[in-house]
C-alpha cells in the first residue's frame, strides 16, 4: 500500500517538532506536520520560555533590596512597564516561532498550519477538508489547562491568558499549589501585583521533598504573596468590574483577575481517536508502551498527551527516540525513572532529581546528608533567606538516590548534579570531588555526616527469630 508520507505528526510542540525534524532531516523519511496554533507549542509560546523571561523581569525588587544591603543607598526597582516588556516578549516568541518553522522546512518537513484529526489508522483529515495518508501517525498534541469545575469558573483565566494580558491586574488570585501557581504567584508579586495564592493542602509543591516544600511555602509568604493554605475557591461571581470569590472556609474576597493553575489534562478531545480504537487511560491520556506505541501499531504518541512526565526535555527525548527507532534503525527507549526538574521561584528555586526523603524512607534504609544555611550573598545583605542541600544515600550500596536543592539558581545546580546521579554515582564519588570555593553548591561535596539515618523497622518476630 502506498502512502502520501512515511510519517504524519499532529502537533508542532516540543515532542512533535523534534520527531519530525529527526525523522525527515536525519533519517530521510517523508514527513508532514500539522499545527493548529503557533509553531513551538506550549513550551515556546505559552510555557517555559515566556515564563522564564517573566521570572527574570520579576526580580528587580529583590535585587534592589539586596543591593541596598551592599551599600547602594536608595537602590530601587523603578516602575515596571508591562507594555514595553510585552512588546519585547512578543518579538522574541515570533523570532523563536520562525526558527522552529525554518528548521522544520530545512529538514524537508511539509507543514500544514491547521488542525488535524484522525480518520483511520493511516489517514488524517485537515481542517480545510483535505485528507493525507501516512504509514505512521505520531500524536504530539500536548495538554490543556484543567479547571476545577466550580460555579463561575468561566470568569477565571488560565496560564495561556497571562502571556496575552493587555495590562497587569492590580489584585490577583492564583488557585493551586503546583509548578504553575507557585511560579506565577512569584512572577506577579515580583511585578507589583497584589497577589493572593490559595492552595487546598498544607504545603505547596506536592510530590517534592517535604523539607524543600516547607521552605518554598515559607518563601512565597516572605516575598509578599498572601498565601492561604487548606482553602480552595468554591464559587466565582461577577461583582461590577471585579470578581468576587467565595472560599471553602466561607470567607469572601474580590479580585481583578483569578487565575486557575489547577493542573493540565491531555489534549485528546476531538482528535478522532474514536475512529481508531487507540486505548485511552482513565484520565484521557493516550496509553503507550515503552516505544511510545499506542494499541494501534501504526499510531504513536509522545509528550504531554501521554501524561508520563510532563516536561519539555522529556517530550523532546520521547520524540527523538521514536524517530530513531522507527526511521533510523536504532531502537531507543526513554528512561523515565530519574528526571531532574526545577520550579523557578524567587529568590530561591526548588530543584530535584531522584527520590524524595519520604520516598527513599518508604523504599528502605537511607542516610540523609542535609544542610540548611544562610548563603553568604544574601546574608551579608541582611536577608534571612535559607538554602537547603540534601543528598539521599543508600547505606548499603552508597549510591545517591536523590538530590534536592532549595537555593539561588538551584535549577542550574541540579542540571550538573543530575549527570553523576544519572550515571549511578556514590556518596564516595561526591566526597572525592574537590569543592569550588566559595560557592553554595560546594556543600554538595562537603557534607560528611548524615543529618539523620532512617532505618526500616524490623518486625518484632523477625528480630527475635
Ligand atoms: C505555564 C507553563 C510553564 C511550563 N514551564 C516548563 C518549564 O519551565 N520546564 C519544562 O520542562 N516544562 C515546562 N512546562 C511543560 C512543557 O511546556 C510541556 O511539557 C511541553 O511543552 C510538552 O510538549 P508536547 O510536545 O507534548 O506538547 P505541546 O508543546 O503542548 O505541543 C502540542 C501542540 O499540538 C498542537 N495541537 C494539538 N492538537 C492539534 C491538532 N488536532 N491539530 C494540530 N495541532 C494540534 C497544539 O496547538 C500545540 O502547539 C510548562 C508548561 C506550562 C503550561
Ligand atoms: N518549571 C517547570 O518545569 C514547570 C513549570 C510549569 C509547568 N510544568 C509542567 O506542567 C504541569 C502542569 O502544571 P500545574 O501547576 O498546572 O499542575 P500541577 O499538577 O503541578 O499542580 C496543580 C495544582 O492544582 C491543584 N488542584 C488541582 N485540582 C484542583 C481543584 N479542583 N481545586 C483546587 N486545586 C486543585 C493541585 O492540588 C495542585 O496544587 C506540571 O505538572 C509540570 O509537569 C513544569
Distance CA 22, CA 383 (A): 48
162 lines ligand 1 (CB under 6 A): no
Ligand in closest contact with the CA of 41: 1
Mean pLDDT score, 244-267: 98
The answer to whether 267 and 301 have CB atoms below 8 angstroms apart is no
Distance 277 CA to ligand 1 centre (A): 24
Q: pLDDT tens, 191-207? A: 999 999 999 999 999 99
Instruction: List residues near ligand 2 (CB under 6 A).
Output: 148, 175-181, 183, 199-200, 206, 232, 261-264, 310-311, 341-344
Domains of the chain plus CATH, in order, are 5-145+265-327 (3.50.50.60), 153-262 (3.50.50.60), 341-448 (3.30.390.30)
Residue whose CA lies nearest to ligand 2 atom number 32: 148
Mean pLDDT score, 27-36: 98
Whole-angstrom CA distances from 194 to 169, 189, 234, 243, 413 are 8, 6, 21, 15, 31
Give residue 1's pLDDT: 82
Best mutation site among 10, 15, 42, 317 for ligand 1, i.e. most ligand atoms within 8 A of its Cβ? 42
Distance 426 CA to ligand 2 centre (A): 32
Q: Residue 121 catalytic? A: no
Q: pLDDT tens, 218-243? A: 999 999 999 999 999 999 999 999 99
Residue whose CA lies nearest to ligand 2 atom number 24: 262
Q: Is the Cα dihedral 227, 231, 237, 240 positive or negative?
A: negative
Best mutation site among 146, 198, 234, 263 for ligand 2, i.e. most ligand atoms within 8 A of its Cβ? 263
Strands 387-393 and 116-120: unpaired
pLDDT at 444 over 50: yes
Give residue 465's pLDDT: 47
The answer to whether 382 and 437 have CB atoms below 8 angstroms apart is no
Give residue 456's pLDDT: 86
Which own/partner contact pairs does 130-135 have at CB distance under 8 Å and 24+ positions apart? Answer: 132/4, 132/5, 132/8, 132/32, 133/3, 133/4, 133/5, 134/3, 134/4, 134/5, 134/6, 134/7, 134/8, 134/32, 135/3, 135/5, 135/6, 135/7, 135/298
Amino acid at each position: 500500500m502506498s502512502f502520501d508520507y512515511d510519517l504524519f505528526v499532529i502537533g508542532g510542540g516540543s515532542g512533535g517538532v523534534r520527531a519530525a525534524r529527526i525523522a525527515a532531516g536525519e533519517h530521510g523519511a517523508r514527513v508532514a506536520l500539522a499545527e493548529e496554533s503557533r509553531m513551538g507549542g506550549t513550551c515556546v509560546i505559552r510555557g517555559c520560555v515566556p515564563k522564564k523571561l517573566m521570572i527574570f523581569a520579576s526580580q528587580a525588587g529583590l535585587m534592589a533590596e539586596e543591593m541596598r544591603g551592599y551599600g547602594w543607598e536608595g537602590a530601587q526597582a523603578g516602575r515596571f512597564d508591562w507594555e514595553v516588556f510585552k512588546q519585547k516578549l512578543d518579538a522574541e516568541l515570533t523570532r523563536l516561532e520562525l526558527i522552529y518553522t525554518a528548521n522544520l522546512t530545512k529538514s524537508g518537513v511539509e507543514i500544514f498550519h491547521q488542525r488535524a484529526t484522525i480518520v483511520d489508522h493511516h489517514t488524517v483529515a485537515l481542517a480545510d477538508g483535505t485528507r493525507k495518508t501516512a504509514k505512521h501517525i505520531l500524536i504530539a498534541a500536548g495538554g490543556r489547562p484543567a479547571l476545577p469545575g466550580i460555579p463561575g469558573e468561566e470568569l477565571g483565566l488560565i496560564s495561556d491568558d497571562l502571556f496575552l494580558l493587555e495590562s497587569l491586574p492590580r489584585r490577583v488570585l492564583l488557585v493551586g499549589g503546583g509548578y504553575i501557581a507557585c511560579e506565577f504567584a512569584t512572577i506577579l508579586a515580583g511585578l507589583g501585583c497584589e497577589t493572593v495564592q490559595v492552595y487546598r493542602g498544607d504545603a505547596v509543591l506536592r510530590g517534592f521533598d517535604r523539607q524543600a516544600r516547607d521552605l518554598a511555602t515559607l518563601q512565597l509568604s516572605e516575598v509578599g504573596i498572601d498565601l492561604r493554605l487548606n482553602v480552595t475557591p468554591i464559587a466565582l461571581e461577577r461583582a461590577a468590574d471585579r470578581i468576587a470569590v467565595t472560599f471553602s472556609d466561607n470567607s469572601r474576597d474580590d479580585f481583578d483577575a483569578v487565575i486557575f493553575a489547577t493542573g493540565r489534562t491531555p489534549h485528546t478531545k476531538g482528535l478522532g481517536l474514536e475512529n481508531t480504537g487507540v486505548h485511552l487511560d482513565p484520565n484521557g491520556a493516550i496509553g503507550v508502551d515503552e516505544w511510545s506505541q499506542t494499541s494501534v501499531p501504526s499510531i504513536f504518541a509522545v509528550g504531554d498527551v501521554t501524561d508520563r512526565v510532563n516536561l519539555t526535555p522529556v517530550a523532546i527525548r520521547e520524540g527523538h527516540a521514536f524517530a530513531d527507532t522507527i526511521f533510523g534503525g536504532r531502537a531507543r527507549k526513554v528512561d523515565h525513572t530519574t528526571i531532574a526538574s526545577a520550579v523557578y521561584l524567587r529568590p530561591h528555586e526548588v530543584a530535584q532529581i531522584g527520590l524524595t526523603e519520604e520516598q527513599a524512607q518508604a523504599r528502605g534504609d537511607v542516610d540523609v546528608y542535609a544542610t540548611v544555611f544562610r548563603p553568604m550573598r544574601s546574608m551579608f545583605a541582611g536577608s534571612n533567606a535559607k538554602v537547603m542541600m540534601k543528598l539521599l544515600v543508600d547505606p548499603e550500596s552508597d549510591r545517591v538516590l536523590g538530590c534536592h536543592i532549595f537555593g539561588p539558581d538551584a535549577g542550574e545546580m541540579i542540571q550538573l548534579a543530575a549527570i553523576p546521579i544519572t550515571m549511578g554515582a556514590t556518596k564516595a564519588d561526591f566526597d572525592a570531588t574537590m569543592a569550588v570555593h566559595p560557592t553554595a553548591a560546594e556543600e554538595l561535596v562537603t557534607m560528611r555526616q548524615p543529618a539523620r539515618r532512617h532505618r526500616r523497622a524490623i518486625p518484632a518476630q523477625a528480630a527475635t527469630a
